[in-house]
Homo-oligomer: A and B are copies of this chain.
Amino acid sequence: MSKSAEIICVGTELLLGDIVDTNSQHLSRGLAEIGINLFHRETVGDNHDRLVCVLKRAISENDIVITSGGLGATCDDITKEGVAEAMGLKLVLHEPSLERIKEHYRRRDAVMTENNVKQAYLPEGAIVFDNDYGTAPITAVQKDGKTVIMLPGVPRELVPMFDEKIKPWLKEQYSDAIIVSRNLRLYGIGEAAAEDLLRDLMDSYQNPTIAPYAKTGEVLLRLTAKGQSEKECNALIDSLFEKVEERVGQYIYGIDVGSLEEAMSRVCREKGLTVSFAESCTGGMCAKRVIDLPGASKVIGMSVVTYHGSAKQKLLGVKSETIEKYGLISHECAKEMAVGLLSLSEADIAVSVTGVAGPDTDEGKAIGTVYIGVASKRGVRSSFINLARGKREREYIRTLAANAAINEARLEALLLNQ
């Protein structure tokens, strides 16, 4: 039987929106990886009664409760007191923890205040995990078959302590299965359309499962299997993957890959190809996204942002007649930009983007009108995409246009044999 857990984040600063809670995601993912079910996450402020109330409910409904925050030395740090009350336990001084805290301050030549002694009081019988990253003792308290684990709220302490100590401990104690996921990245199809094609598989498969997630301009499809070994899980996923590939294979651009630019960069590196972009409405986004990845210098050497028409002419050699006849936002301009860039950059693949991101229309073209040009030794081509939707937000249109440009570079890299 899988065990169930609940995460409780403690801190008024969270409820005021002063900080974004990244701990929950980290803990959630970690629990999923060791096959512990998570049905609820909760955030409460630094209020004793409300905390105790939430803790009591969580403990009654779950096998494991993990708290984050409220373990500091100040008076609004109330988690231990809350847990002790909710579980009917006393707080007692834990000498080794007190020694550790004293040592921490000694090493830093810092003054330890009376408040810090408070940190060494723990619920009786608590299992203490040495906190290698801070002063707050990290504990697991067990009673009547229930376990409450208290972690500090600072991600710099919580993340490594959970990964290095708590997760392995939980796995040993509770995990009866392992979970393996495979992430398929789809481009060129929406979430609803993908679901239409996969509906019966989604309904009929329980293990492995298949779940689609909408990302900006693309879809993530996750196949997840639960089993006794990685091999067993992978075999389960393989059988489902075959069926999924039959339905949506043409849209899959990568498996367990982070993004279009990562997929593109992989192909380029494998084939020893370089890419360059000439960006108008995307204004540096394509270059930025490729250069975000470590090792980008193997893939991109030069890229240009030609926002004004004059820059397109001067840098890329787009002809005045082309602009007069077809406009800057046209197949013809996109193609001339790509050809000009191929020679300027000496890259293997030159991709251009010209379009209207808004907020104003341009040349009478609707916001969301985008042309992509591609040039390589294979020749030159261009494509048109219509991104006019919703409020036609500038940022959104530019992101989708950059997706399309990076995808074109990826396709060209696949077609080029070097």
Which A residues are closer than 8 A to B by beta carbons? 12-22, 24-32, 38-45, 47, 50, 54, 72-76, 104, 107-111, 113, 115-116, 132-134, 154, 156, 190-193, 195-196, 211-214, 216, 222, 279, 282-288, 290-292, 294-297, 300-308, 310-311, 314-315, 344-345, 358-359, 386, 388-391, 393-396, 398
| 19 more CB-based (< 8 A) A-B contacts, given A15-B39, A16-B29, A42-B42 | A14-B24, A15-B41, A20-B24, A39-B44, A40-B42, A104-B389, A104-B390, A108-B389, A113-B193, A133-B391, A133-B393, A156-B396, A283-B291, A283-B300, A284-B288, A291-B307, A294-B359, A301-B307, A302-B311
Give the one of A40, A111, A310 with max B CB within 10 A: A40
Can you list 8 pairs linking A and B with CB atoms under 8 Å apart? A15-B38, A40-B54, A108-B389, A113-B193, A116-B192, A282-B291, A284-B291, A294-B359
Task: Give chain B nearest CB distance to A360 CB in angstroms.
Answer: 8
Asked if A26 and B17 sit within 8 Å, CB to CB, the answer is yes
Set of chain B residues within 8 Å of A304, measured between Cβ atoms: 302-305, 315
Nearest CB in chain B to that of A153: its residue:
B214
Nearest CB in chain B to that of A12: its residue:
B211
Instruction: From known contacts A15-B41, A156-B216, A213-B13, infer whether A133 and B390 are also in contact, taking CB-CB under 8 Å.
Output: yes
Task: Give chain B nearest CB distance to A409 CB in angstroms.
Answer: 14
Nearest CB in chain B to that of A387: its residue:
B108
Task: Give chain B nearest CB distance to A305 CB in angstroms.
Answer: 4
Nearest CB in chain B to that of A28: its residue:
B17
CA distance A41 to B19 in the complex (A): 14
Asked if B25 and A17 sit within 8 Å, CB to CB, the answer is yes
Asked if B40 and A16 sit within 8 Å, CB to CB, the answer is no
Asked if B32 and A25 sit within 8 Å, CB to CB, the answer is no
Set of chain B residues within 8 Å of A75, measured between Cβ atoms: 195
Instruction: From known contacts A302-B305, A302-B308, infer whether A285 and B288 are also in contact, taking CB-CB under 8 Å.
Output: yes
Asked if A191 and B17 sit within 8 Å, CB to CB, the answer is no
Set of chain B residues within 8 Å of A398, measured between Cβ atoms: 291-292
Set of chain B residues within 8 Å of A190, measured between Cβ atoms: 110
Set of chain B residues within 8 Å of A359, measured between Cβ atoms: 294-295
Task: Give chain B nearest CB distance to A117 CB in angstroms.
Answer: 11
Set of chain B residues within 8 Å of A214, measured between Cβ atoms: 72, 154
CA distance A30 to B17 in the complex (A): 8
Set of chain B residues within 8 Å of A27, measured between Cβ atoms: 17
Asked if B283 and A290 sit within 8 Å, CB to CB, the answer is yes
Set of chain B residues within 8 Å of A41, measured between Cβ atoms: 14-15, 42-43
Set of chain B residues within 8 Å of A303, measured between Cβ atoms: 283-284, 304-305, 307
**Shortest 6 CB-CB contacts between residues of A and residues of B:** A283-B291, A17-B29, A17-B28, A284-B287, A284-B284, A302-B311
Asked if A28 and B14 sit within 8 Å, CB to CB, the answer is yes
CA distance A345 to B314 in the complex (A): 9
CA distance A415 to B212 in the complex (A): 53
Task: Give chain B nearest CB distance to A81 CB in angstroms.
Answer: 17
CA distance A300 to B308 in the complex (A): 8
CA distance A315 to B47 in the complex (A): 56
Set of chain B residues within 8 Å of A358, measured between Cβ atoms: 294
Among the listed B47, B283, B288, B295, which residue makes an inter-chain contact with A39, where contact means beta carbons less than 8 Å apart?
Answer: B47
Asked if A292 and B283 sit within 8 Å, CB to CB, the answer is yes
Set of chain B residues within 8 Å of A38, measured between Cβ atoms: 15-16, 45
Task: Give chain B nearest CB distance to A390 CB in angstroms.
Answer: 5
Among the listed B21, B28, B29, B74, which residue makes an inter-chain contact with A192, where contact means beta carbons less than 8 Å apart?
Answer: B74
CA distance A389 to B108 in the complex (A): 6
CA distance A110 to B390 in the complex (A): 13
CA distance A137 to B295 in the complex (A): 43
